């Protein structure tokens, strides 16, 4: 997030797109409701489904799934055409405006209506509302990113925000809502294939040198970009990845095209899963390493607004479970000793031991506490340099926090962008990788519900939550169901090009005609068996939100197709 959660309640216009905020991020959803109810903020919701916050919105735009760039570009078109843009901000703080102007010239609201289904008049009204607000904030989530055009979708939203001068101000900004509680922290720590901790590029020689010296590696660190999870699985099938360690993730339910995921995991020589429960993925593992839960370890979480917060151990881990850092250090020490033994046996043509054969006594794999680890990363990550456990005892701090006297940064890009000038990107609408056709006439989109979290690893162990939401469902428009003679509560078969599942139907006008929505929390109806694993070329994110499916009735006499 460029801004802070509290600013949701102190802004003039909130634009939410690609996020069922009230259900998937209920705390922030409550803030949005308060902003509308008590402080009279104006809310614009852009979503194909009639999500809960539509009831609070002044404007609801209902685009066809996968058409986000078209409606965003149309709003930019209107703002430029009607001279509503912030010329001073654009001239002083950005570049690439003329290329953007040329690109969006063809995206008239009338053309966008043909692509998105949103009436041209409503697009104009939303554009004016957003542009004329003194402060306007954009909130988005995986309904924007989980497309083959996900990266360009985010760039288009950034264009809209910069065009109206809504970056670097309180109550403005471009604010992704993270899907899990420490996604931001994991990324901060370098859990990405192209960066070291603190988003420092692996190909930057100065960065590599600093990490090599701090870690006393003795050898040059690799400058190669690694693989994302969606690249690792195909690489496993090709034999290029032979072993895998999966931590706190359940790809057998969460990844697209899970039949393909199963084949990839089965093709590995060795699979280790590190988790707090025996998940569907852990059941496939050669070795399961029991991890401690959040309440059983010390450390930090970094939330969606970049706030670093302390987590304190409240309970002892059960059995042989350990904190993740203890498990990783133990593995590293054992691997290091094995490599040392192998290297010590290697000699060159003169009978001299390999220069890589050095004692494995590196203290950085012999940490004594999470505090010691945090001290090291604060020394290596400029944005964390001013954050310490001592300071965090008094409350969380938002990075960047470059020194011990700095108060943290609630709003990014106040005076300048990290790259200097903010860059406009001329992005074009591209249809989804897979659209409905005669064989698969419905469009499937997936998401979450309030009562279960991600793949249900924890929440489905709650009797209360399982009583409220015991099984998955597919949400279908009553008019579509009537044409297929499908009744509410009936169990049907849902089929895509990748597989099939059975699930109960829930009839509702929340989903438009031609669209089916389903949750992915439930192992009994694993909807990601159906979803498309086509990737965004930059972000490598699968297109979870759009794929073609058909509905087949299940009856005693056999099966009837849609």
Cα separation, 395 vs 234, in Å, equals: 43
- How is residue 107 written in tokens? 């995206």
Q: Tell me, what's the pLDDT at 561?
A: 52
CATH of the domain at 495: 2.40.40.20
pLDDT in tens, 24-59: 899 999 999 999 998 889 999 999 999 999 999 999
- pLDDT above 90: residue 366: no
More confident call, 100 vs 254:
100
Q: Looking at the structure, do residues 76 and 165 belong to the same domain, yes or no?
A: yes
Cα separation, 155 vs 167, in Å, equals: 13
More confident call, 342 vs 84:
84
Structurally, the chain folds into a number of domains equal to 3
Q: Tell me, what's the pLDDT at 392?
A: 96
- pLDDT above 80: residue 408: yes
Domain range spanning residue 520? 442-561
Domain-terminating residue out of 177, 210, 238: 177
Domain-terminating residue out of 177, 209, 230: 177
Q: Looking at the structure, do residues 220 and 126 belong to the same domain, yes or no?
A: no
Domain-terminating residue out of 132, 149, 177: 177
Q: What is the average pLDDT value for the chain, to the nearest integer?
A: 90
pLDDT in tens, 145-186: 988 999 999 999 999 999 999 999 999 999 999 877 888 999
Residue range 387-416: average pLDDT? 95
Q: Is residue 258 part of a domain?
A: yes
Q: Tell me, what's the pLDDT at 539?
A: 87
- Say which range, 38-52, 286-300, 516-530, has the weakest mean pLDDT: 516-530
Q: Tell me, what's the pLDDT at 336?
A: 80
Q: Looking at the structure, do residues 290 and 323 belong to the same domain, yes or no?
A: yes
Q: Is residue 301 part of a domain?
A: yes
Q: Looking at the structure, do residues 107 and 187 belong to the same domain, yes or no?
A: no
At residue 475's C-alpha, the angle toward residues 471 and 477, to 5°, is 155
Q: Is residue 285 part of a domain?
A: yes
Please, which pLDDT band fits residue 544 given cuts at 50, 70 and 90? confident
- pLDDT above 60: residue 359: no
Q: Looking at the structure, do residues 190 and 300 belong to the same domain, yes or no?
A: yes
| Start-end of H helices in 82-166 | 87-93, 97-104, 109-116, 120-132, 142-145, 150-163
Q: Is residue 96 part of a domain?
A: yes
Q: pTM of the prediction? A: 0.90
Q: Looking at the structure, do residues 551 and 490 belong to the same domain, yes or no?
A: yes
Q: Looking at the structure, do residues 126 and 155 belong to the same domain, yes or no?
A: yes
Q: Is residue 431 part of a domain?
A: no
Q: Looking at the structure, do residues 189 and 166 belong to the same domain, yes or no?
A: no
Q: Looking at the structure, do residues 512 and 368 belong to the same domain, yes or no?
A: no
Residue range 275-301: average pLDDT? 95
Please, which pLDDT band fits residue 557 given cuts at 50, 70 and 90? very low
Cα separation, 507 vs 53, in Å, equals: 20
Cα separation, 406 vs 390, in Å, equals: 14
- pLDDT above 70: residue 346: no
Please, which pLDDT band fits residue 349 given cuts at 50, 70 and 90? very low
Q: Looking at the structure, do residues 240 and 316 belong to the same domain, yes or no?
A: yes
Q: Is residue 418 part of a domain?
A: no
Q: Tell me, what's the pLDDT at 528?
A: 87
Q: Is residue 491 part of a domain?
A: yes
Q: Tell me, what's the pLDDT at 448?
A: 85
CATH of the domain at 62: 3.40.228.10
More confident call, 353 vs 111:
111
Q: Is residue 420 part of a domain?
A: no
| Start-end of H helices in 393-521 | 463-468, 478-484
Residue range 286-297: average pLDDT? 95
Residue range 475-496: average pLDDT? 93
Q: Tell me, what's the pLDDT at 356?
A: 47
Q: Looking at the structure, do residues 343 and 210 belong to the same domain, yes or no?
A: yes
- Say which range, 2-16, 63-77, 522-536, has the weakest mean pLDDT: 522-536
Cα separation, 490 vs 284, in Å, equals: 32
Q: Looking at the structure, do residues 221 and 121 belong to the same domain, yes or no?
A: no
């Amino acid at each position: 997030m460029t801004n802070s959660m509290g600013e949701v309640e102190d802004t003039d216009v909130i634009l939410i797109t690609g996020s069922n905020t009230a259900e998937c991020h209920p705390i922030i959803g409550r803030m949005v409701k308060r902003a509308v109810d008590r402080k009279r903020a104006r809310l614009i919701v852009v979503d194909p489904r009639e999500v809960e916050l539509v009831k609070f919105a002044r404007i609801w735009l209902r685009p066809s799934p996968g058409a986000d760039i078209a409606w965003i570009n149309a709003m930019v078109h209107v703002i430029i055409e009607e001279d509503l843009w912030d010329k001073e901000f654009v001239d002083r703080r950005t570049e690439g405006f003329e290329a953007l102007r040329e690109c969006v010239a063809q995206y008239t609201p009338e053309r966008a209506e043909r692509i998105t289904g949103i009436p041209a008049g409503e697009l104009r009204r939303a554009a004016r509302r957003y542009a004329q607000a003194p402060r306007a904030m954009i909130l988005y989530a995986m309904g924007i990113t989980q497309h083959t055009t996900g990266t360009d979708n985010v760039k288009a939203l950034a264009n809209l925000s910069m065009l109206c001068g809504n970056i670097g101000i309180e109550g403005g900004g471009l604010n992704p809502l993270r899907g899990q509680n420490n996604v931001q922290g994991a990324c901060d720590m370098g859990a990405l294939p192209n960066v070291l901790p603190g988003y420092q590029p692996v190909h930057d020689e100065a960065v590599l040198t600093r990490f090599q010296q701090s870690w006393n590696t003795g050898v040059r660190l690799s400058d190669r970009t690694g693989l994302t999870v969606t690249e690792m699985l195909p690489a496993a099938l090709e034999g290029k990845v032979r072993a895998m360690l999966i931590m706190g993730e359940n790809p057998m339910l969460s990844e697209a095209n899970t039949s393909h995921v199963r084949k990839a995991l089965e093709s590995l020589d060795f699979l280790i899963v590190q988790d707090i429960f025996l998940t569907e993925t852990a059941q496939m593992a050669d070795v399961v390493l029991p991890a401690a839960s959040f309440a059983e370890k010390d450390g930090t979480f970094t939330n969606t607004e970049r706030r670093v917060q302390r987590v304190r151990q409240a309970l002892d881990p059960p059995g042989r479970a350990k904190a993740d850092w203890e498990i990783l250090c133990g593995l590293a020490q054992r691997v290091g000793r094995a490599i040392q033994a192998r290297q010590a046996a290697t000699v060159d043509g003169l009978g001299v031991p390999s220069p890589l054969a050095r004692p494995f006594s590196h203290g950085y794999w012999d940490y004594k506490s999470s505090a010691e680890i945090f001290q090291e990363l604060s020394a290596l990550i400029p944005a964390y340099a001013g954050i310490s456990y001592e300071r965090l005892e008094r409350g969380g701090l938002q990075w960047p926090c470059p020194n011990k006297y700095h108060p943290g940064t609630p709003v990014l890009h106040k005076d300048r962008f990290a790259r200097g000038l903010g860059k406009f990107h001329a992005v074009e609408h591209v249809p989804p990788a897979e659209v409905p056709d005669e064989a698969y006439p419905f469009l499937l989109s997936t998401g979450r519900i309030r009562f279960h979290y991600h793949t249900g690893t924890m929440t489905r162990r709650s009797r209360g939550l399982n009583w409220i939401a015991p099984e998955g469902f597919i949400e279908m428009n009553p008019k579509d169901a009537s044409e297929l003679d499908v009744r509410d509560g009936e169990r049907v078969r849902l089929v895509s090009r990748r597989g099939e599942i059975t699930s109960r139907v829930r009839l509702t006008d929340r989903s438009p005609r031609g669209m089916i929505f389903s949750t992915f929390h439930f192992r009994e109806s694993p909807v990601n068996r159906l979803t498309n694993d086509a990737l965004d070329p930059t972000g490598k994110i699968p297109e979870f939100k759009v794929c073609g499916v058909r509905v087949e009735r299940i009856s005693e006499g056999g099966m009837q197709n849609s």
